Amino acid sequence: MKISRYHIIIIGLLAAVCSVQAVDTKRAAATVVLDDTGVKNLRIETVEVEETDFEQTVFALGRVEHIPIRAGAVSSRISGRVIDLKVSVGDAVKKGQEVARVESRQPGDPPPVVPLLAPLDGLVTESSVRIGQPVEPENALLEITDLSEVYAIARVPEHQAGKMKPGTIAHIKVTALPQEKFDGELLRFGTTADKASGTIDAIFRLPNPTGLLRPGMRAEFSIVMSKRANVVSIPRASLQGEASNRFVYVKDFDLPNAFVKTPVTVGEINDRFVEVTNGLLPADEVVTRGAYSLSFAGASSVSLKEALDAAHGHEHAADGSELTPEKLAEAEAKKKGTAGGHGHEEGASPMWKYASGVLLVLLLISVFTKSRGSRDSDEAPAKPAGKEAA
């Protein structure tokens, strides 16, 4: 059968119809619609995608330590015994504050008493004295440490240490304070390396104005090695799926409480952010908190059709597509119970109905073209016989 331009047009229309239907079906399958209660229960939070400075980081473990020059001892200038102790370990004191009293061994009635004062502002971090205990000038009774600034010491692989310079910034998380974030500045490296582990101490200065950081706390370091500008990135909590199938949930720009599962291609990943090379645009809103739970939300109490109907003020198909006048009239007829002979098509998908109609038209055009070709062949004049040779 010869393919005419009519066939080509019809085939194009069929492909367009199938494509639209496939897009609508795909959108419905990828969209999770929640009601207000569902959003609250999953604690959904979103952030706007934007271009930022993306950091390449190196991970290391370490600990928090006090700064040695910010610690002081309390001792007695005379021999005697402690008759009053005003502080305990963990108490905060001010410079010049009385922390204890010592009764002298010198004779007197009463014997002389000497007050002991704090040498600096800080926290009482150590005590080796009790009331009534004899003391001598060479013994330290209390240790007071200023913790307004501390050291965070990371164990860095030697081959990475060579790429770091004083002033390098590290994002630091402390196990005991999971909700807090700290930034430290590299001061210097330790004097010796650990041969067994192949690491060397990198000492970061860390402000501690609230006093939450205490010596001995374990810490995790993300040491910034380099930066790239104008990189589309999202928080790590937004990224879902396995390495071969990464996706995020994007807030629908039109429907309230609707989130679309969107495949993405990722680049580098650091401790806080993920570089996105394809799949998102600046100003998209991606789900951060609650993204993992959305993967298991399943069928919600609100269908995509119900959400679209409420948002647009008119009815949509079950898959969320727009209703054509024909489909709308059919739906109205079914509601009124006057669908007639079309009742057996109730379970058929819209795409199958369109495809069936187009195939019927193609069949009719094919029959018409073949019939016309046969008629033209019959009406053609017979070819005159050639003259016989003389």
pLDDT tens for 75-89 read 999 999 999 999 999
CB 44 within 8 Å of CB 287? yes
d(CA 362, CA 355): 11
pLDDT at 119 over 50: yes
> pLDDT digit string (tens) for 322-344?
556 666 666 666 666 644 444 44
d(CA 71, CA 99): 16
**Residue of higher predicted confidence among 301 and 101:** 101
pLDDT for the residue 35: 84
Taking CA atoms, 108 is separated from 80, 83, 103, 112, in Å, by 13, 16, 10, 7
**Domains of the chain and any CATH numbers:** 5-54+230-305 (2.40.420.20), 58-66+148-228 (2.40.30.170), 68-145 (2.40.50.100)
- Please spell the DSSP secondary structure of 37-83, one letter per residue: HHHHHHT--EEE-EEEEEEEEEEEEEEEE--GGGEEEEE-SS-EEEE
Taken in order 39, 42, 45, 46, the sign of the CA dihedral is negative
The answer to pTM > 0.85 is no
Task: Tell me which of 55-59, 185-189, 209-213, 332-336 is least confident.
Answer: 332-336
Q: Give burial (CB, 10 Å; 0-12/13-18/19+) of 340.
A: exposed
Q: Amino acid identity, residue 253?
A: F
Q: Which has the closest alpha carbon to 258: 32, 29, 4? A: 32
> pLDDT digit string (tens) for 120-151?
999 999 999 999 999 999 999 999 999 999 99
- The distance in angstroms from the start CA to the end CA of the chain is 45
Neighbours of 172 (CB within 10 A): 23
d(CA 260, CA 28): 9
pLDDT for the residue 331: 63
pLDDT for the residue 282: 87
pLDDT for the residue 297: 73
Query: Token digits for 335?
Result: 């509601």
d(CA 302, CA 107): 90
Taking CA atoms, 124 is separated from 121, 145, 361, in Å, by 10, 6, 92
Q: Is 286 helix (H, G, I), strand (E, B) or coil?
A: strand
pLDDT at 300 over 50: no
Q: Which residues pair with 253 in a beta bridge?
A: none
